[in-house]
Amino acid sequence: MSILIVAVTIVVVAVPEGLPLAVTLALAYATRRMLKDRNLVRVLRSCETMGNATTVCSDKTGTLTQNVMTVVAGSIGTSNRFSNRAGQSHADSHDDVEGVATGEFIHTLADDVKSIWKDSIAINSTAFEKDDNGKKAFVGSKTETALLDFAQEHLGMDAISLERSNVETVQMIPFDSGRKCMGIVVKLKSGGYRLLVKGASEIMLRYCATIIKDPSKSASPTTMTGDNKKTLQALIDAYADRSLRTIGFIYRDYESWPPKGARRTEDDKTQPVFEDICKNMTFLGVVGIQDPLRKGVPEAVEDCIKAGVFPRMVTGDNILTAKAIARECGIFTAGGVALEGPDFRKMSQADQRAIIPKLQVLARSSPDDKRTLVKRLKEMGETVAVTGDGTNDAPALKAADVGFSMNISGTEVAKEASDIILMDDNFTSIVLALMWGRAVNDAVRKFLQFQITVNITAVLLAFISAVSDDEEQSVLTAVQLLWINLIMDTMAALALATDPPSRRILERKPDPKSAPLISTTMWKMIIGQAIYQLVVTLVIYFAGPRILDGILGGDSAQEEAELQALVFNTFTWMQIFNALNNRRLDNRFNVFEGIFKNLFFIMIFCIMIGGQTLIMFVGGEAFQVVRQTGPQWAIAIILGVISLPIGIVIRLVPNELAAKLVPPFIKSYARRNKEKVVVTDEENPFQFNEALYDIKQELAFIKRYKGGRLNALKFAVSHPKEALLHSRSPSRSRASSSLPRTPNNELSENEDGQSPAPPTPDSRRKRGRSRSNSAFAGAAMAGIVAGSIAGGFSPIDRDTDSLKFARGRSKSDLSKEVRMDVHPETKKEDPVVVNEDPVEQAGNQPPSQSTDTTPQFGRGPFTGEPSNTLSEGKSDDKSEDHHKP
């Protein structure tokens, strides 16, 4: 019966039932503290995933900038300009775009020009006015509210409801992210109709054929010349270089509505097609809107780079504005590339994979461009975090490993599609989420490191002592083992799972998806401490009567009781002090760093000390221990404290040396497990028709005769399910190099543009049966061979153009086909296009983690000190000021 009790107790101790508790506690504690750091976690697993993020695709407006917009410059026509220089440094001024003061400029405009401009702002808007504590305030898009403030202050705009009630609205054209504009049709008092459109200035310029001749006299238009267009484009570029968002205003008068000859939309036959009405427009003017950078964003971007996280800007703004903001906050660096959405979306998948490793800014992008970018990054093995605030951003948020939505400016659809909600819409909060994500991962590893050490020592000690004892009694009783189990499960989970993140957590790269849960450094500590504890307890147990002569009791019964109590007391104190060792997972020595920031650890540490002391003094009968003398207490505590210097010695052992000491058969087993394919959560194992694979193998010999036609046969006979299934699972899976590819080395897609699911273990396993066993395979192969040789039939339907591309086109020609803006400080010998497969060139890791495939950040993990924007106490409640813009 005693053996059965000991066996059951050992099983209870050995089974890591505290692991789920530790994971739950770590996630619950992190999510609660993240809320104080302006991160509302909706999906718990996103905390862990964010800790290993390799790239962040961030919006510009409101995330990197303050989303506090003001009209500071503008022009009506080509030469009448105004500029508000207040708050601008001399370095920010541009002689070629400066104008008169705003008030002076308005007085020079003709009344009909001001009227058209006022209507373009007030009527062509979806913002509205509300009473805020007795003050009128505009509510809506920050761009529109900035324009309304300008119109109210300088153009004599009345209450917006009054302005809109004075005109008859015929049709509203809502803002479209593809067209980058919005419009409205109003009926004029003269009987005609006027189409007012505002939007991205360079796009508005393309729609125009005329321009206001002299704004100071009237709104009479004149033909727009090539010089006019060049002047306006230069003005727009100059505004964009000053980090200003440019909005253009255009209009056109019609005699009737809908216009004659205009096509009708399919949804509403009474509404004309936008492209048929928005042409031959008159250019009214352009304004530059300033949106200052958020405080602390440059430092937060630097923190991301130092942590091995590649920051990217994805915005709908002008590419010059985007580049200016990106340079200001440190995203656009030497070796980096800025690209526009229209150019990005017309590129092939192979070209996108070639340019993405150096892509830092994607401007004029649509929500679909963002989703495509996220998909390509995931195909290259990146762990992607993305921000979004609009309804159209939902697909990108869902496709990303971690989706961040905006609490202030975000829609409900975007919030529902996201994993984490940024309560202050601030990029700095993303860095805090990164820190807490890594803290969660570390918390689980700390707990495992501690628990495995206790498991190994307790089980071996109980087993060896029971086997060697004549009465088959373990030196640790069942009740003692249960107390030890309570220490290593519940208490250790509370103590080690609640460590807040420190600044040093940003000084390392993200863990690869294939990284083991227990690292070499952890195994060193586990095995080293287990050996020390086993040696100490076994020496005391077997050699205690000899080496402790005079310290133990006189008679044999008393001596044995004191010896067993000493073994239990020493073993427990070693676990208590080893908990301090497990606060660190690296090879640094200071295990007390930040300990006073974790009150849970201090409290649990004191409870363990008090509980053990209480047991040894008053728990004699229940725990089968006798009271210890002073020297016995000293031995137990000193041997426990020695765990700390033993930890230092273990950390001094190089990881490379520790890895060499691992037996070869263990390395071989680990390597085999690492090479296994991981099936994602959304995939179901299924059996392919092996006859098709037999055909593929039997036809391999024809390659040397038919060459090009059968070069892609490996892809062509893939199972239809591989082309239909699409996985968005955040589970760890193999790199995208295992996915089927087209002849020009592109990842295949289905009709919806979705990538196929990764191959399953069934699709990759070796088939040992004879291929001749399949009658279907033999018959089908014979028909294919005959048709291929006699009639030129090929079992693969492919586009001949893609073959020409694969053979005759170099990726180095990519820059000649699309507009790529390369950072001016980029070295001539630094390639901006990755000519090889990015994953292979990066050493079979995400391209963002290799200096060979990334821009020249000039800094990275383990170089220099992190910035001081986020203090070490940022996770505490006292650092609220960092969230203020």
Residues catalogued as catalytic = 59
Task: Output the CA–CA distances (angstroms, integers) from residue 67 to 140, 181, 585, in the order listed.
Answer: 12, 19, 40
DSSP-H helix ranges across 347-471: 349-355, 367-379, 394-399, 412-417, 427-468
- Contact between 572 and 613 (Cβ < 8 Å): no
Rounded CA separation 651/635 (Å) = 25
Q: What are phi and psi of 788, to 5 degrees?
A: -70, -40
- Contact between 47 and 437 (Cβ < 8 Å): yes
The amino acid sitting at 519 is S
Rounded CA separation 628/747 (Å) = 71
- Contact between 58 and 76 (Cβ < 8 Å): no
- Contact between 714 and 788 (Cβ < 8 Å): no
Q: What's the token pair of residue 338? A: 């800025």
Maximal CA-CA distance, the chain: 120
Residue 246, beta-bridge partner list: 288
The amino acid sitting at 127 is A
Residue 185, beta-bridge partner list: 171, 195
Q: What is the DSSP code (8-state) at residue 247?
A: E
- 753, with CB counted inside 10 A (0-12, 13-18, 19+), is exposed
DSSP-H helix ranges across 699-774: 703-706, 713-716, 720-724, 761-764
- 42, with CB counted inside 10 A (0-12, 13-18, 19+), is middle
Q: Quick count: other Cβ atoms within 10 Å of Cβ 390?
A: 19
Instruction: Tell me the three state secondary structure of residue 465.
Output: helix
Rounded CA separation 143/289 (Å) = 8
Q: What's the token pair of residue 1? A: 């019966």
Instruction: Tell me the three state secondary structure of residue 868.
Output: coil
Of 375, 369, 335, the C-alpha closest to 746 is 375
Which single residue is written with the structure tokens 């340019």? 355
Q: What is the DSSP code (8-state) at residue 15?
A: S
Q: Quick count: other Cβ atoms within 10 Å of Cβ 519?
A: 16
H or E element, residue 410: none
Strand ranges inside 710-829, DSSP E: 820-822
β pairing state of 128-132 and 55-58: unpaired
Instruction: Tell me the three state secondary structure of residue 362.
Output: strand
Of 201, 223, 230, the C-alpha closest to 120 is 201
Residue 282, beta-bridge partner list: 210, 251
